[in-house]
Amino acid sequence: MQEDTVIAQRLICDYVTVCGGVLKVPLSKEMLASAASARSRYRMHLEQEKRKKMSDVQGQKRKAAEEEMEELKKSKATLIAVTNSLSQDADQPAKKAEEKAGTLMAQLITKSNTLRKRHREKMVMEKKLHKVHVEWQRIKYAMSINAAKTRAMEVALEEARRQADKERSLRLIAEAKDDKLEQTMNMMMKVMLQNTDMQASAMALLDGRTLATDASSG
């Protein structure tokens, strides 16, 4: 535990001891308001930690996806170079075949056709990689937009909860003040009534003494 937590726990234990036990601790509205506020802050802390963990996980996934995309980019660049090379290699036997005849011409044409077939296969692979790259860019953009919207909503919710907790705490404190004011007024009324009873008793006593004096004088 951190130092502030240990100090707070020590203060709470001392207060419980002074009150004579947990069941004898007075639950004032100020204490309830403080507990509600503390619970709200702790809940927000837990939510922030949860969002942080989720953000870390998403960040790791995003990093892995970006690394994979970089590998795809390198593969695409290599594939383009191989495709261009195959196209040039396929043209050379075809040109040489135009100058030859018989078996040699057939061999050159076969070689050219084989290279062109490989060239077409590489072109298909290149198109697929291009589609994957375009789709990844679209997903990445959508993820950034959604992340921004989610963060904005989280901030708005935090502010709304904070405001609601503040209003609740203020309401509890106001009610506590009203209760204290009412208790004070009741106490003052009791004192005034007691004083009134004492004054009445004193007046009655004085009246009794006056009557006794008059009787003795007569």
For residue 208, pLDDT over 80 is answered with: no
Residue 201 domain-assigned (yes or no): no
How many domains is the chain built from? 1
- Tell me, yes or no, whether 71 lies in a domain: yes
Residue 110 lies in a domain: yes
Q: Which of 39-53, 75-89, 154-168, 189-203 has the lowest mean pLDDT?
A: 189-203
Q: Tell me what pLDDT residue 201 has.
A: 59
pLDDT of residue 55: 78
Range of the domain at 16: 3-177
Mean pLDDT value across residues 55-63: 79
Written as one letter, the residue type at 7 is I
Supply the pLDDT for residue 64.
79
Q: What is the pLDDT of residues 92-102, one digit of tens each?
A: 777 777 777 77
